[in-house]
Amino acid sequence: MPDVGEGLTEAEILKWYVQPGDTVADGQVVCEVETAKAAVELPIPFDGTVHELRFAEGTTVDVGQVIISVNVGGGAPAPTEAVAEAPAPAVAAPAEEEAEEAEPQGRQPVLVGYGVAATSTKRRARKGSAVPAQAATAIQGELNGHGGTSGTGTATATATAGRPLAKPPVRKLAKDLGVDLTAVIPTGPDGIITREDVHAAAAPAPAVEAPAPTAPAPAPVSAPAAPAPAAVVSTDARETRTPIKGVRKATAAAMVGSAFTAPHVTEFITFDITRTMKLVEELKSDKDMAGLRVNPLLLIAKAVLVAARRNPEINTAWDEANQEIVLKHYVNLGIAAATPRGLIVPNIKDAHAQTLPELSKSLSELVATAREGKTTPAAMQGGTFTITNVGVFGVDTGTPILNPGESAILAVGAIKLQPWVHKGKVKPRQVTTLALSFDHRVVDGELGSKFLADVAAILEQPKRLITWA
């Protein structure tokens, strides 16, 4: 399992495109995995025949673990272990003894996100380290039971008496559950404490429901890996329990962190957007916009970019680690998108420099990619300002939560025909409400109010897209 982006530590196998016995070629996509950020297709760097799928669909696998083996050449197994162990210093790859003996010949295939592993990265045992007998037994049992080592390999247990070995997410889980890591028996490779170890230590008694499955035993060569169920249904069929993982799990954690870290303030403005709606209809028949998608969101996005130029401090970030306020001289415009896997926020890089036709094309590509579930982790990194359009669901507006790393987010409400005072008379006009949430550590009330008022003013009189730009 390669590190598919941004240092993620695990990924769920969504779908296998091959089965044992299938012939594969270098670069062929063999499976689709979902990380905490996106779904990604993984190519195989070998020519040969699939020997074994080591994990079933629906299984969450740590980065660095071997998920597939391929017979190459004269039937010798492909050196997947040697390739897989390079990028994860905190995770010892299975079958390390075999990997150390393998010598690359000719071109050495490399998986996505990996460099060529010239030497073994097996963790060296710390001085004075020791593992209790029961811990060593548990480690060996897990490796043998999960296909982590060959029949001739042996696991070397390396725990540290002073500081237990565990990844940062596992340490955070232990802290949240109130578990002392020094009292947890590790079952991971080289004495690393896993999530299952922490949950086992936190459980006061055996759970009534079956625990979330750990990595299953390797599937037989002659049979395909059986898909794991996406949801667990209770015995009386009155409840459906869906595991929280992947994009939805990451989004939940990010929103909780944002809501309880950045002091949110939300301001609202309701205004007449009739002229912008008329401009939308005119642009649809403009030859310069032929073949491009023109809708209210396009002009709202353009209004945001113009207002950000007039109020550049809205496009900032609070750097907690360095205790700095970072002013961005570019706008990577995020668009919140609801997908079957949960809410994601891909962004348009350098949107401030795009013309209206370019912005239209970028928005169309962003939405289409998100709906297909093909948004890459890179497309969701580096956002500076986000727009969320709740109006498409008929909602007037809301109080959006900031996307982590940003200082403002704009919610666009439904555009409705309502009675409105226009030129001294009550007339039916297209009316909408915008809501701006901002981080009060960075954006004060004056700045937030000016920015929101500018966005509304542009959409009330869209000619300001020209005069203010």
Query: Could you say which residues of the chain have pLDDT below 70?
Result: 4-8, 36-37, 74-162, 168-169, 172, 203-236
pLDDT of residue 77: 47
The per-residue pLDDT for range 368-415, each reduced to its tens digit, is: 998 888 888 889 999 999 999 999 999 999 999 999 899 999 999 999
Measure Cα distances from 448 to 43, 88, 264, 296, 409 in Å: 46, 43, 12, 22, 11
Q: Is the pTM of this model over 0.75?
A: no
66 and 2 Cβ atoms separated by less than 8 Å:
no
For the chain, report the end-to-end CA distance as a whole number of angstroms.
Answer: 48
pLDDT of residue 408: 97
Supply the Cα-derived Rg of the chain in whole angstroms.
Answer: 27
- Residue 440 annotated to the active site: yes
10 and 63 Cβ atoms separated by less than 8 Å:
yes
Domains of the chain (ranges; CATH) run 1-100 (2.40.50.100), 130-204 (4.10.320.10), 248-467 (3.30.559.10)
Measure Cα distances from 384 to 266, 267, 288, 417 in Å: 18, 19, 29, 33
Q: How far apart are CA 465 and CA 303, in angstroms?
A: 7
pLDDT of residue 294: 96
pLDDT of residue 385: 97
How many Å is the maximal CA-CA distance in the chain? 89
pLDDT of residue 204: 54
CA angle 200, 205, 207 (to 5 degrees): 75
Q: How far apart are CA 180 and CA 469, in angstroms?
A: 58
